[in-house]
Structure 1
Amino acid sequence: MEIHKKFAHSILLLFVVLATSQYSCQAQNSPQDYVDAHNAARAQVQVGPIAWDDNVAAFAQSYANQRIGDCNLVHSGNKQYGENIAWGTDLTGQAAVDMWVSEKPNYDYSSNSCVGGSQCLHYTQVVWRNSVRLGCASVQCSNGSWFVTCNYDPPGNYIDQRPY
């Protein structure tokens, strides 16, 4: 009898761990989480806040749903919105935004360029002053990884224009 109790407790504990690990991965994917992460980066360079937009979010969700089968880092090709995409295991929206913002040291404001051939255009889209509406989505792909996309309205990263 005691062994069955221990086994039942072990199964229950395993269920709780699995359920909460799934929740913790998605705990940072609310619209407010995305907005807060973007606005923290924007505030660092005195750019006004960005706001959540349900129409932009619907586009982001529609495109993310198309990536479920492969999780490939392929842009949507839509020109109406700016776009940042990310992929990873256990990737939350917060972590994706943090990854894009981590490109900040690669951006040189005086030359308005990415330094040393490094990537910085994800960062500049996050802080683009004229982008004032945001919509993001994440999906778990069939391979178990996560695909995250954020779209920006109006889009940024125009040649010969500074983000702020």
Structure 2
Amino acid sequence: MVGVPISKLCDINANKKIIVDTHNELRAQVSPAATNMLKMEWSDKAAELAAGYARSCKQYHSQQTERNFTGFNCGENLFMSSFKASWEDVIKAFYSEVSNFEYGKGAIDPDQEILHYTQLVWYASFQVGCACAECPVSDDTQKYFYVCRYCPPTNLKTIPYPYKKGKNCGDCENSCDNGLCTNHCPYNQNKYGDCPSLAKGDGCQKEIGLMDDCPASCHC
């Protein structure tokens, strides 16, 4: 990346296509394959909030309430570097944690990170917005700070199963684009991992509060 000014790397309009395309390429190649992996699209609002946080140079995770907008909660991946990294390299760094991940188990080595990977490949996340900034260098701060927001966020209770394994687009055969589903649910994600079973039949009508706790399963 020598010779590429940070202003160009952090120009949202100049980089959003490569950011979205890289995410979708990686999501489409998960192993085992995913039956329900949604295709990501750019979110201007998520990117706007990510840009504000990147410029703050607070190189630790933001509060959940700082990421929310229009009824959506959002997850967050952060990347800090002493050198200018391309967006493709940043996103692939998140994905590289797959080497410590086993589907159905989670982290192979519990002392090593996997949450950047599981957020990137969380099946229900269909909106992404990223931004970066150049920060003052200190003992606690690297020079370059990259922030990506994912909406809706991963469900920490089901980390070993970030998607349903099976044939690509097996759950969306009529809404499939290059191995990714295009039939996203416009409702926020479920609060509980067993929402799909709770919502079967007329569960959403019978169980008080289930519509609020399991909006994705009840409406989609």
TM-score by length of structure 2 reads 0.58
The structure that has the greater radius of gyration is 1
The unaligned stretches of length 5 or more in structure 2 are 66-72, 164-220
The unaligned stretches of length 5 or more in structure 1 are 1-17
Structure 2 residue matching 1:30: 3-state secondary structure: helix
CA RMSD in angstroms comes to: 2.4
Partner of 2:18: 33
Equivalent in 116, 129, 146 of residue 148 of structure 1: 146
Richer in helix (by share): 1
Verify: 1:137 aligned to 2:122, yes or no. Answer: no
Q: Tell me the distance in 1 between the aligned counterparts of 2:6 and 2:133.
A: 13
Write the mapping of 1:3-152 to structure 2, written as runs, cut at 5 A: 20-22=3-5, 26=9, 30-45=15-30, 46=34, 47-67=37-57, 73-79=59-65, 80-88=73-81, 89-111=83-105, 113-117=106-110, 118-143=112-137, 145-152=143-150
Q: What letter matches 2:52 in structure 1? A: S
Q: Deviations over 1:65-121 (max 9, x none)?
A: 111xxxx5300112531000001111232221111011112111022x111122111
- After TM superposition, give the deviation of residue 141 of structure 1 in Å: 1.2
Q: What letter matches 1:48 in structure 2? A: L
Structure 2 residue matching 1:138: 3-state secondary structure: strand
Q: Tell me the distance in 1 between the aligned counterparts of 2:125 and 2:95.
A: 15
Q: How many residues align?
A: 141
TM-score by length of structure 1 reads 0.77
- After TM superposition, give the deviation of residue 158 of structure 1 in Å: 2.4
Structure 2 residue matching 1:34: 3-state secondary structure: helix
Q: What letter matches 1:99 in structure 2? A: A
Q: What letter matches 2:100 in structure 1? A: N
Q: Tell me the distance in 1 between the aligned counterparts of 2:7 and 2:63.
A: 31
Q: Tell me the distance in 2 between the aligned counterparts of 1:160 and 1:95.
A: 27
Percent identity between matched residues is: 31
Q: Tell me the distance in 1 between the aligned counterparts of 2:17 and 2:48.
A: 16
Q: Tell me the distance in 2 between the aligned counterparts of 1:114 and 1:62.
A: 32
After the TM superposition, which segments of 4 or more aligned residues of structure 1 sit over 6 Å from their partners? none
Contact 1:93 1:138 survives alignment (8 Å): no
